Chains A and B, each alone.
Chain A
Amino acid sequence: NAGVTQTPKFRVLKTGQSMTLLCAQDMNHEYMYWYRQDPGMGLRLIHYSVGEGTTAKGEVPDGYNVSRLKKQNFLLGLESAAPSQTSVYFCASTLAGGSVGELFFGEGSRLTVL
């Protein structure tokens, strides 16, 4: 049982390049989230999804797009990377209902934009 898997784990981009981060969960969870974590800023919500085919904006959505075409996958896209997007990105998932608050996180994807 792999849980939440993020790929890639590390990536270096040049300003203006695009890339996609993939999050895959094998727990049949309905809800999925993308957070970024920066020193002194804590975890901030980028986008989230409450089910296949749905997405919603979080606290810091600008410069990012997401898609949830399959229940088990949640993709985070950077269309034109900027140095301000250098961060550690975490994907998380949870069951709905009685599992409120119990998010399962991936190991993180460390992105550097030069």
Chain B
Amino acid sequence: QKEVEQDPGPLSVPEGAIVSLNCTYSNSAFQYFMWYRQYSRKGPELLMYTYSSGNKEDGRFTAQVDKSSKYISLFIRDSQPSDSATYLCAMTHSNSGYALNFGKGTSLLVTP
């Protein structure tokens, strides 16, 4: 079993919808939690970063971390066609050279 589990989708929503993406993990040592966005044939780019439990908001994006449940979420409000991409959750801890453990990624399509 991978340390980080993520439903690969694909997920298709109409423009303006609220999107919810989730990951679960098994390693309680993870301290830092990230969401990356990857467009087709490009490298991933950091979208959101959260340290330990809590919420973080940045424009239309909200990241939530629940360490007690080993569960992280990304919410996208008022989704746009330009949000169509693959979203990868990632997490790390200090004992691994801060190498990221990624989920498989969820493919999102926002239709006009």
Contacts and interface: CB of A to CB of B under 8 A. Distances in A.
A1 B32 CA distance: 28
A33 B97 CA distance: 10
Nearest to A91: B43
A43 B102 contact: yes
Of the four ranges (under 10, 10 to 19, 20 to 34, 35 or more), the interface on chain A belongs to 20 to 34
Interface size class of B (residues with CB under 8 A): 20 to 34
Contact of B43 (A31, A40, A94, A107): A107
Interface string A87-103: 00010101010001111
A96 B99 CA distance: 11
Contacts, number: 63
Interface in A36-53: 40-45, 48-50
Given A90-B43, A107-B43, A42 B104 contact: yes
B98 A100 contact: yes
B4 to A, nearest CB: 8
Interface in B25-46: 32-34, 41-46
Given A41-B104, A108-B41, A101 B97 contact: no
